[in-house]
A and B are shown apart, each in its own frame.
Chain A
Amino acid sequence: MATIDIHVHTEVHHHDDHEEHDHHGNFWTSYIFCQDHKVIAKQFLITGMAWALIGGVLSVIFRLQLGFPDAKLEWLRPLLGGWLTSDGKIDPEFYLALVTMHGTIMVFFVLTAGLSGTFSNFLIPLQVGARDMASGFMNMLSYWFFFLSSAVMFTSLFISTGPAGGGWTVYPPLSALPQAVQGSGLGMTLWLVSMALFIVSTLLGGINYITTIINMRTQGMSFTRLPLTIWAFFFTAIIGLLSFPVLFGAALLLIFDRSFGTSFYLSDIYIAGEALPHVGGSPILFQHLFWFLGHPEVYIVLLPALGITSEIIATNSRKPIFGYKAMVGSMLFITILSFVVWAHHMFVTGMNPFLGSIFTLLTLIIAVPSAVKIFNYVTTLWKGNIKFTSAMMFSIGLVSFFLTGGITGLFLGNSAVDIQLHDTYFVVAHFHLVMGSASFFGMIAGIYHWFPKMFGRMMDERLGSIHFWMTFVGVYLVFFPMHYIGIAGFPRRYYSWTNFETFSSFADLNMLVSIAAIVTLSAQFIFLFNFFYSIFRGRLASANPWDSNTIEWTTPRHPKHGNWPGDIPTVYRWPYDYSKPGAKEDYIPQTIPYSETPESNLPHENELIKLEMGNTGAIVIDEKKH
């Protein structure tokens, strides 16, 4: 242990040599092609917010069709132009494009890049005590690949044949044949190019996150003293690194099928009056490859949000997070299991039923660590002293969504029950709550909580409350009714249900859902106003506005590139010493040694005081060597 500490220390010391980089760069090097992790995080954040707005608007447009099927949407013509039919309704093919782009944008551009990109970049160096990421340059490349990818995807929204329209899962043959749907022409090509760039960006980021967490922790920051945020980002990066390349492979083969006449996914197809030459491929192969990323992707989206809220809930309950080890353990278990449950998306695709049995078993096992996490969250609230900051309320919202949406996984994961529910609105309700809304709330909570560190000012808490209540109630009103619609058998991705007697009811609930969606989207403008207004005119933030223990709050109000003006602080304890009996304050930051808090130390912590002295000794020896 001691040797490790010394090793870590030399690492730290090395960085101390060129302490705060005082940048005298111009606008381009300090804001655009910047290598400072904090600036890159903000770039990811702003881009992610722009995408969230686009994704949200797209969803409201198709909700208009579903909630008000008879409405004339002529007033949307300036925006949609030819995508409206002559009688003022949304073109059915464009409807599919809307659904597809909403999914792609939200899953990848908002909740992967916007969430992980922002908070992994911002928090990893600040919370482990590093000057910057392991490779600032790679980190910058990661953002710019994401930007390129965004540009390509954004362009695809405006081409004449429309963006990809085969669903965000882009199952071939639909996505491979331009004859099948317009969006499978140029739109799909751009989708694939954009995703390839996106994967490069994710990998560059992920390698950096992992390296930084393993190699660049400050002295004393052992793995067991890492905040849960960092654990979550660590696992997320590992999942991404292992699963995104598989999507890259899947996309590459799809490109071959589309452009070079191969038959990886295509076989026995007769379309548009001709039999295609493809023989021997299998569309199921694509589904396996896609979901090998697609399912871990759920956890790539969710784990950072869970990490962020663990931190926020502990801080604002003024209590240690309940079961730190169980939290880490369950995240590790989820990480491992996330790789072996993918085929539960494919129970009724014609996959071998025996495989279905295996995946039912593995899928329902993953419910156990998820349940443990929920219990730990709830117990953390128990006997706390809860401050309802906006961040805290959004975190409680996340736990609520995680519970509501997660529990329906028990239905869908069970293959026999899934037969009826597969591809109905029950699934839509399930994943929008457990993955979409929960992760979105984690992201928003993170923004409220770390805004003071990002911009040196506070966001308005009152607007934050209004934003929370409108969004929280709004999201429930959007997604909860979908359970009923799903149990009634309504299929997903339907432009209209009027062709079927079986699906002729629920016009009322669908209208309610659409209205709730519009209200929820409007509430986000309160947030946007609050965000941009507070950047410039918000109340000045104090150094540690939430009385938090983690070390990012020991930096100055506006940390420069390099984060700490002097030495990087040494860490002496875990980050959750809140309301420790005997302590004067209800928090003890990680940088306070046990030797300074004899009144609150637990018996085994008193023994650690000796080690703390040892560490100081190591510094002396180390400096002599230099």
Chain B
Amino acid sequence: MMQIIIGIGVVLVLVILFMIFRIGNLVGLVEEVKTKVGSGNKINAFLFMAFMVLSLLLFFWYSFAHFKKYTLPVASEHGKITDDLFWITMGICVVAFTIIFIAMFWFTYKYQYQEGRKAEFVADNHKLEILWTLVPAVVMALLIFKGLRVWNDITGPASKDAVVIELVGQQWTWTARYPGPKDEELGKIDFRLIDPTNEFGLDLSDKNSFDDFKSQTLHLPVDKEVLLKIRAKDVLHSVFLPHFRVKMDAVPGMQTVFKFIPKKTTQQMRDETGNPNFNYEMACTEICGKGHFSMRFPVVVDDDETYMKWKNSQESWLKQNPDYLKFVPANLREFAMIKSGIAPDNGSQQQGVVQSVTTIK
């Protein structure tokens, strides 16, 4: 019943609007005979002016009043530089935008139609054309120059002692793999070795893989160069660390890298923002299916000491999955057990563990 009444109401409103339109139309016909350009011209000219003033006021007010709300604190070294470049570009753009915006709507208002006036026949002006070709060109050149220098620094090779961490994207989670503290080298992987347990596809014939460990949180040391090695298992994903101004796609079949230096620990950030619950986060920014929006990966930045403590306390992947010792070539098995921490690093107990493994087999 209610729906029918609403329906009738809507129809009535539409009919009334239509009637108003018809009457306006007929009146317009009579007016139109007298003057070719009606009063609507003045109203529209005024509206353009009003639009210009109001929209600029709104733009500047919101941009200043809510500055904190839409800017993210920056926590990496290169992030400060790219932010600077962003705000330099912003300065240039806002000045240029405001001038052109005002000029355009001011002309629109000022040169509205007037009976009997004739527009000025100005077809071109080479000096002006050259001027407004050269000025943007020079400004652009400066921006490019600065931008490319920064870009080269960011994308240049990482230093040899950078902390290497592997990030793996899959539908719809991230995992991190750290090289174990024993060798600081990531072991080889092969996508054909992936199974529900061996989610990295660790190649256990490679010695370096024995002490690699998995983490469900990205732990980073502060003030040290970090080199992210990024890959994906199924479709494209993209690593996005908003506070560190880091973004790089994860591509199946191709490793990508991004290096950066975190400058603030999670705790420092909490103090600085006054938000005791502040946490760094990592997101996915490449469409990857239904769970794209839920690929959150927690990030923690620690001071060096805490970071090392955390790293040394992690169990290697092989220790967590001792069944996989069977994939280690026989001659390396003992070494694997020591390196992965399955067997404590002393001669007496080793023998026993080897035996137990062989009996399992």
Contacts and interface: CB of A to CB of B under 8 A. Distances in A.
Interface of A: 92-93, 96, 165-167, 171, 173-174, 177, 180-181, 266-271, 273, 275, 279-284, 317-320, 322-326, 348-350, 353, 356-357, 360-361, 364-365, 367-368, 371-372, 374-379, 381-388, 393, 396, 399-400, 403-404, 407-408, 410-411, 414-417, 419-420, 422-424, 460-463, 465, 469, 472-473, 476, 480, 484-485, 487-489, 491-497, 499-503, 505-506, 539, 576, 578-581, 586
21 contacts: A93-B289, A267-B253, A319-B119, A319-B121, A320-B122, A349-B251, A350-B249, A365-B140, A368-B140, A379-B122, A385-B119, A400-B101, A416-B148, A419-B154, A420-B79, A422-B247, A461-B40, A484-B69, A489-B242, A494-B292, A501-B281
Contact of A166 (B103, B132, B247, B287): B287
A371 B136 contact: yes
Given A93-B289, A407-B93, A462-B40, A361 B144 contact: yes
Contact of A420 (B55, B235, B247, B291): B247
Contacts of B161: none
Nearest to A346: B249
B121 A460 contact: no
A267 B253 CA distance: 5
A93 B287 CA distance: 11
Contact of B147 (A93, A166, A320, A414): A414
Contacts of A270: 170, 191, 194, 201, 233-234
Contacts of B82: 416-417, 419-420
Nearest to A381: B107
Given A174-B236, A417-B147, A381 B108 contact: yes
The CB with the most chain B CB atoms within 10 A, among A365, A385, A423, is that of A385
Contact of A403 (B48, B97, B233): B97
A273 B195 CA distance: 7
A320 B119 CA distance: 9
Interface stretch (B20-28, B315-323, B352-360): B20-28
A424 B196 CA distance: 33
A267 B252 contact: yes
A92 B256 contact: no
A414 B293 contact: no
Given A174-B289, A491-B240, A322 B124 contact: yes
Contacts of B28: 460-462
Contacts, number: 334
B293 A275 contact: no
B285 A487 contact: no
A269 to B, nearest CB: 5
B97 A322 contact: no
A372 to B, nearest CB: 6
Given A96-B287, A416-B85, A350 B111 contact: no
A282 B113 contact: no
A538 to B, nearest CB: 9
Interface string B47-60: 11001000100010
B85 A414 contact: yes
A469 B47 contact: yes
Interface string B230-246: 10011110101011011
B247 A348 contact: yes
Contacts of B150: 416
Given A408-B93, A487-B71, A348 B238 contact: yes
Task: Indicate the member of A174, A374, A377, A499 with the most B CB atoms within 10 Å.
Answer: A174
A367 B136 contact: yes
B155 interface: yes
B137 A410 contact: no
B129 interface: yes
A473 B137 CA distance: 32
A568 to B, nearest CB: 27
Contacts of A579: 118-121
Q: Report, as a range, how many residues of chain B touch the other chain.
A: 35 or more
Contact of B132 (A375, A460, A491): A375
Contact of B277 (A269, A273, A491, A501): A501
Nearest to A366: B140
A181 B236 CA distance: 12
B122 A487 contact: no
B327 interface: no
B44 interface: yes
A565 B201 CA distance: 76
B10 interface: no
Given A349-B249, A350-B249, 16 more contacts: A171-B236, A177-B234, A181-B289, A267-B252, A325-B124, A372-B133, A385-B111, A385-B114, A387-B37, A410-B92, A416-B150, A419-B246, A491-B284, A497-B293, A499-B293, A586-B119
A484 B284 CA distance: 20
Nearest to A279: B253
Nearest to B47: A469
A4 to B, nearest CB: 24
B86 interface: yes
A495 B295 CA distance: 12
Contacts of B107: 378, 381-382, 384
Given A283-B253, A319-B122, A502 B242 contact: yes
A472 B44 CA distance: 13
A372 B236 CA distance: 38
Contact of B233 (A269, A283, A410): A269
Contact of A404 (B97, B108, B152, B243): B97
Contacts of B249: 348-350
Interface string B99-120: 0110110011001111001111
A386 B42 CA distance: 10
A488 B281 CA distance: 13
B283 interface: yes
B42 to A, nearest CB: 9
B64 interface: no
B40 A419 contact: no
B173 interface: no
B129 to A, nearest CB: 5
Interface in B153-198: 154-155, 170-171, 191-192, 194, 196
B254 A284 contact: yes
B361 interface: no
Contacts of B254: 267, 282-284, 350
A348 B248 contact: yes
B124 A324 contact: yes
Contacts of B223: none
**Top 9 nearest A-B pairs by Cβ distance?**
A267-B253, A353-B155, A350-B256, A489-B242, A268-B253, A388-B44, A579-B119, A414-B147, A383-B120
Interface in B279-326: 279, 281, 283-294, 296
Given A173-B234, A177-B234, A323-B129, A283 B251 contact: yes
B202 interface: no
Given A96-B292, A367-B136, A269 B191 contact: yes
A181 B290 contact: yes
B90 to A, nearest CB: 8
Nearest to A377: B104
Nearest to A483: B70
Contacts of A177: 234-235
Given A324-B124, A378-B103, A386-B112, A420 B242 contact: yes
Given A96-B289, A180-B234, A484 B113 contact: no
Contacts of A495: 292-293
A275 B192 contact: yes
Contacts of B93: 407-408, 410-411
B132 A372 contact: yes
Contacts of A461: 28, 38, 40
A492 B287 CA distance: 8
A291 to B, nearest CB: 14
B207 to A, nearest CB: 23
Given A322-B123, A505-B69, A491 B283 contact: yes
B144 A364 contact: yes
